[in-house]
Amino acid sequence: MSKPRRIVIAVFDGVESLDVTGPAQVFSTASRLLAGSGRGYAVELASAGPAPVECAGGVRLLADRTFADSDGEGVDTLVVPGGLGIRPDSVEAVVDPDVLAWVARVAPRVRRVVSVCAGAHTLAAAGLLDGRRATTHWATAEALAERHPEVTVDSDAVYVRADPVWTGAGVSAGIDMSLALVSDDHGRRHALSTAKWMVMYLQRPGDQSQFSTPLKRQSTARTDIAELLAWIDAHLSERLTVPALAARMGVGERQFARVFVRETGSTPAAYLDAQRVHAARRLLQESDLTLAAIGTRCGFGSVHSFHRAFKRHTSVTPQTYRRHFTSTATPAPATADTLQENETP
């Protein structure tokens, strides 16, 4: 019988509790669903000393071992969660010196190193992200890029894989990344079973934006813009032009374009493009519709325009995305439009 993979999660005062418990729950659930085969995971917590660790929200955790007792021998995956010092006018990533020293010491002995949220700052300080692409909580991404110019910071990704290092975005993204780790270890089907058992609606792929569509709508202070964005998302299959959208808001085109950019951070055309690709991603994951049908439903004029926009946003073709992230039991059969898509340069 195979031995379970040892997962050691570093904990420290001020750690975000979900950064710890989210991955731990994923690995625990994945193990239980393997029905005692021994191929699962053994999760441990490590801290600087024997005293309980107090999380940022006040919850206390008792570690299984101290850093002094763990030299990385026999550890498969090292997980470094984050801590955020939140003030009225700023957010500061917490880099615990004991965690930093331990990570720098044991990282060369483990197969895989993972950070969640602002834990990426600890990995960067230990030199583990030099020359690599990485992500972190959006509120600390700029600081990470400024302090560590040798790291290519992707401030929008949910998680980034740069073997042997994986980095995840803020808090709940640690669950998505942990499911991806389970998929890498035990296959996509088992990761989907784990997500289903945890009553997760959908596992986000790594390249998906940290900001969901509802959050984008809620981020504007203007009710009329928020209502328009919701209406746009419900009518993506229609021909949505600036004149039509401006008329719907009852303002002139120039004023509309100016307000839209100020409130959303993007032009109307860029927003439409991104939302159509976002909608297409979900249909690729959840349905067996052909590419032509998905393109039409999401408002793209043709399979080729759908292909170009999708690849521009995700760096992969729709067909490749479907193969990697589909949640349907069987893939859709090859059709004329999929063959066309594969032939597109």
Alpha helices in 266-316 (DSSP H): 268-286, 291-297, 303-314
Instruction: Write out residues in the chain with pLDDT < 70, as ranges.
Output: 1, 36-37, 201-221, 324-345
Longest dimension (CA), the chain: 70
β-strand partners of 7: 43, 77
DSSP code, position 126: T
CA separation for the pair 89, 240 (Å, rounded): 38
Q: Can you tell me the distance from the alpha carbon of 23 to that of 38, in angstroms, rounded to the nearest whole number?
A: 19
Residue reference for tokens 């998680």: 159
For residue 175, what pLDDT is reported?
94
pLDDT at res. 208: 52
